[in-house]
Amino acid sequence: MRPEPGSAVQKSLPAISPPPSQVQARLPRAIGYLGSTAIVVGTVIGSGIFLVPHNVAQYVGSVRSLLLVWIVGGVLSLAGALSFAELGAASPEAGGVYIYLRQAYGKLIAFLYGWGSLAVMESGAIATLAVAFSIYSARFYPLAAVERKLLAAGVIALLTFVNIVGVRKGAAVQVVFTCAKLAGLAIIIGFAFFSRHVAPVVSSFKLPTPQTTPSSFGVALIGVLWAYQGWHILSYAAGEVKEPSKVLPRSFFLGTMLVVLVYLSANLAYLRVLPLPALVEHQRVAAKAMDVLAGPRGSAFVSALILCSIFGALNGNILGGARVCFAMARDNLFFSSVGRVHPRFETPALALTIQGTWAMALAASGTYEQLYTYVIFTAWIFFGAATLGVIILRRRLPALERPYRTWGYPWVPLAFSLAALGIVGNTLLTNGREAGIGLGLVLLGVPIYLAWRRWGRKPPLI
């Protein structure tokens, strides 16, 4: 804990500044209110809302249950975003969740999160979006399995390069593609609600889950939470946001609320055209809905906008995720070169390169459903812990300046943490193999951390 300004402890400290050679270059605060809100909206709205309704429909037995899953996922995401808004406003540093875990639990837990982010969580999210990009590209040109993997790797490489050459360029890409994806969803929703004589698709498919159970609801919620995945990404770039004490809480709240509204509207639009059995039958639900409403041209137009949506979400994840490795390196928990700011571009160039390379490997290794199960399971372990950190840090650091305080404290962060525990437990029961792989990759960080300490880096164990 830092001594308070003007305290006796602070006055007793010698006023010695480190030599210029030891001062680490900082990332510039170049992201404004529009850019930060676009990071929230544009990163969350990626491939999920266009593909996940198909997966969700397989585990619910009614329209009411389907909508309830999306509402619950939205409420949980909002609770997490509000909690992270307090943490981010109080500690506006690059690294986000990593920083919050370090403050609440120490460097070992923070390292496990950073390692997990690189191994599966953030890199896996990037890979999953790239796989979805290749799936929707098949609407325009048939691709063999190898060609899809090459396309997924290529789009990751392109956006990694864009973010290496400047955070302003990355933020500008985010704003442009966020507007494009909102326009695409508005077209789908508008056609569904205002087209006359809409004939719903007739499907002979039987619902795999005729009646929703608590277990099947939990499995469906995993897919929905993947669709909401990304509200935390803004925290990673907190060190580059202008006026973070004001901008971060507003962007977290407004961005998450806008996503919830859009998602519920989109699901209602799909259901107007595709009854529940048809949602089970068709994976690319948005393209199928527009094919019914506007014919092949309408389907092709919306598919192009969906590609823009996934492209923008990829950009947001790539922009934010690399800041975790960067923060680890600044804590001497990773190679020091990864914590350097590029002298020309003023970005964490090496961290971006490492993240992009591993994400390309993941994109070539797993299916869409496997990847998002790895991501959701491992991420929610740490999301729950970080949100509980709001309560821990209120008690441990009561004097810490908090420009924003979480609404509904302590019930909002506590409810989110308990929900995260339930999601993790249900995933272990229903998707044990994928959950075990994700957990194993994270726990592999323990011997890596200990080896790092033994080799002379010597980070404290707590």
DSSP output for 154-222: HHHHHHHHHHHT-HHHHHHHHHHHHHHHHHHHHHHHHHHHH-SS--PPP--PPPSSSS--HHHHHHHHH
The residue segments making up the domain with residue 65 are 30-455
C-alpha atoms less than 13 angstroms from C-alpha of 369 in its C-beta half-sphere: 12
- Centre a 10 Å sphere on the Cβ of residue 189 and count the other Cβ atoms it contains: 19
Calpha distance 280→56 (Å, rounded): 8
Of the candidates 313, 364, 319, the residue with the CA atom closest to the CA atom of residue 153: 364
Q: Does residue 122 sit within a domain? A: yes
Q: Is residue 69 part of a domain?
A: yes
Number of helical (H) and strand (E) elements in the chain, helices listed first: 19, 0
Residue with token string 């953030």:
122
For residues 249 and 455, give the distance between their C-alpha atoms in angstroms, rounded to a whole number. Answer: 41
Can you give the pLDDT of all 462 residues of the chain as single tens digits?
A: 444 444 444 443 333 333 333 346 677 787 888 888 988 998 888 777 888 899 899 899 889 999 999 999 999 899 898 898 899 888 888 788 899 999 999 889 999 998 888 887 788 888 888 887 887 787 788 888 888 888 989 999 999 999 898 777 778 888 888 888 888 889 889 988 888 777 788 777 777 888 888 888 888 887 888 788 888 888 888 877 888 888 888 999 999 999 999 999 999 999 999 888 888 888 878 888 888 888 878 778 777 888 888 888 888 889 888 888 888 888 888 888 888 888 888 888 899 999 999 899 888 876 555 655 666 677 888 989 999 999 999 999 888 888 889 888 899 999 889 888 887 887 788 777 777 877 887 888 899 888 887 775 554 444
Predicted TM-score (pTM) of the model is 0.79
Is 158 a member of any domain?
yes
Q: What CATH number does the domain containing 176 carry?
A: 1.20.1740.10
The answer to whether position 282 is within a domain reads yes
Q: What is the pLDDT of residue 65?
A: 92
C-alpha triplet 194, 137, 229: angle, nearest 5°: 75
Give domain status of residue 8, yes or no.
Answer: no
Give domain status of residue 418, yes or no.
yes
Count: domains in the chain? 1
- Residue 49 CB neighbours (<10 A): 26
- Single-letter code of the amino acid located at 6: G
241 three-class SS: strand
